[in-house]
Structure formats: structure tokens, C-alpha cells
Amino acid sequence: MSSTLLSVSDVRIYYYTLTGIVRAVDGVSFQLREGEVLGIAGESGCGKSTLGYGLLGLIPPPGRIVRGSIVLDGIDIAKLKPAELRKIRWAKVSMVFQGAMNALNPVYTVGHQLAEPLVLHKGLSVKESLEVAAEMLKRVGLTPEVLKRYPHELSGGMKQRVMIAMALLLKPRLVIADEPTTALDVVIQAQIMNLFKEIRQVEKNAMIFITHDLSLIAEIADKTGVMYAGKMVEIGSSESVFGNPLHPYTQGLLRSIPRLRGKEKITWIPGVPPDLRMPPPGCRFHPRCPYAMDICRSEEPPEIEVEKGRTVSCWLYAKR
């Protein structure tokens, strides 16, 4: 059995705005082993990306981590100062950001942006860094000529590959991919997914794959976590979560996916996610849940371990 690489315990990330406190991530806990892939799914605004940024210590103001621990390879990222975090980022944990065009600096060439982390973290010369960057570009299916280009000269798929190359340059132990296939056509999306699977086999990185698309998670992830309104409502092996979803929200998400075979009727989850400045009391899903009980409206459900490595936060499974 591989050892635990990442341990996230009761992490709470809030944004302190003029209109109230946005509880974007509110008490999330999970563990990730070396070489394991965790897929995180949920609606827009449920806290997936905020959690990803929190794992790198990149929460933008007015947000901050108000509670909890994020222990990566024995180091609690939540307690590090900015100068210490800079030594961790890209060396131990890196991120493929959502929207590669926004993540790449438009006034610098691709070569400049790929060489920079190698110069800063490894102490390589610019020439040596560009040689390493050229080899990494080849691995993600791009030619070294791309080093001389600016981001606006690349297609969406090429920019996404550059971001993946940048995330892998320093061989980090954990790679976070935040919506890596957003805004890509289905052909490029398939190429990017094949690239991630190849990277996983060769590099043996642990990976957190954040996406709206449950089919992508089923394709690549060992474990699946489902977030709703800042909470991790269900987490377990991908086989168990997809084969036997427990939380009503997970069940609703899976029933909304079209099937090539089968006569199941496609349904949707009525209502809208709550305002995280004023989340509903009790279970945050209860206003949309077909199984809501009185206790759901007044008391927050505990995290219940239904089997080893499988937890769900729902009163339906509580022993009362």
C-alpha cells in the first residue's frame, strides 16, 4: 500500500466581502495516497476551484484559510508564510489552471514562462532551462518552436498543453488540474485526457482532477469526491460512487447524464444552489432534496463512514 501524500482536515476557506462572508469551502476533509487520482465534481460555485487554490496557498483576497490543515508530504501548507510557499509551489505541488489564456502572461514568450521556474527552483541557466522546457513540450505533443511564440499565437489546445508542460517541469508529487478541458472541442478534449493518462502512467504523480464532467472523472480517477455548497458530501472509490451513489445529490447528478444504452429517463435536480453568504440551516442540500426530513432542516449531517474509504454526509445513513 502506498503512503498518504496529502491529508486535508476540516479546511474552511471564506471570502470576507462587503455583503457578507462567503463560505466557499466549509469543513472539507480527505486523504490522497501517492500516485492516486482524485476526481472532484460539483456544480459551479460549489467550492471546487477554491479548494484547489487553497491546496497551493493561492487564495486571492479577500479570501483566506480560516481553519484546518493541509499536510502535503509532512508539511502543513496552511501554516506556511508566502516566502515558504513559493518554495513548495511547482516543486512539490503544481496546478493546471482553468482557462490557459488567463493563466499565461500575454507579454512573455512561452519559453520565458517555462524557463522561469527552472531558473528559480533548480538554479539552471536560461539556456539549460530552455533545453529542459523543449523536451517537456515534446512530451506533451508540441514542437520546441513553440518556445518562441507568445500565448496569443497558440490555439486553445496548444495553450492547455503548455500549461500541462509547465505543471510537470519540476516533477511535483501532486498535480492539480482545474477544469483542464474547459472550452476545448471534443477532439482536443480527448487528446488532453489521453495525455493525462499517459502522464499518470509515466510520472506516477498523484493528481486532483477538478471538473463538471463526471464522465471524465470516471475515465481517469481512482477516487471520486462530490462537492455541494462548500461541503464534500460524498467521497469514495470511483467504482463505488458511480456504481452505488449514496448521497441524493450524487444520485441526481448521475441521473442527469445521457446514456448510450438503457431506458433510464434523464432527470434534473430542481432548484438552485444556495447563497453561500447565507446557507440554509441543517443540510445545505435539503431545499432541493426529495428525501428531506425534519432533522435535515435543522441539523447538519455528520460525515458517516459507510465502508472503509467511503464516506457520505447524509442523515439517511445515520444510526439514530
Residue 51 sits in a domain of what CATH number? 3.40.50.300
Q: Which of 8-22, 28-42, 306-320 has the lowest mean pLDDT?
A: 306-320
pLDDT at 124 over 60: yes
Which pLDDT tens digit goes with each residue over 294-305? 999 999 999 999
Is 239 inside a domain boundary? Answer: no
Question: Domain span at residue 87?
Answer: 4-92+172-230
Is 74 inside a domain boundary? Answer: yes
Is 259 inside a domain boundary? Answer: no
Query: What pLDDT shows up at residue 266?
Result: 84
Query: What pLDDT shows up at residue 203?
Result: 82
Q: How confident is the model at residue 320 (pLDDT cuts 50, 70, 90)?
A: low
Q: How confident is the model at residue 6 (pLDDT cuts 50, 70, 90)?
A: very high
**Cell numbers describing residue 274:** 444556495
Is 241 inside a domain boundary? Answer: no
71 pairs with which residues across the strands? 7, 76
Is 52 inside a domain boundary? Answer: yes
d(CA 72, CA 92): 8
**Cell numbers describing residue 33:** 495516497
Is 135 inside a domain boundary? Answer: no
Average pLDDT of the segment spanning 220-227: 95
Full strand arrangement of the beta sheet holding 310-312: 93-96, 174-178, 206-210, 37-41, 223-228, 231-237, 310-312, 304-307
Is 316 inside a domain boundary? Answer: no
162 close to 100: Cβ distance less than 8 angstroms: yes
d(CA 215, CA 232): 19
Q: What's the structural domain count of the chain?
A: 1
Query: What pLDDT shows up at residue 182?
Result: 73
Inter-axis angle of helices 126-139 and 110-117, to 10 degrees?
110
Is 29 inside a domain boundary? Answer: yes
Query: What pLDDT shows up at residue 24?
Result: 95
Query: Where is 96: in which H helix or E strand?
Result: strand 93-96
How far, in Å, are 185, 224, 228, 267, 278 from residue 94 at the CA level? 25, 20, 25, 37, 33
Average pLDDT of the segment spanning 85-91: 90
224 pairs with which residues across the strands? 39, 236
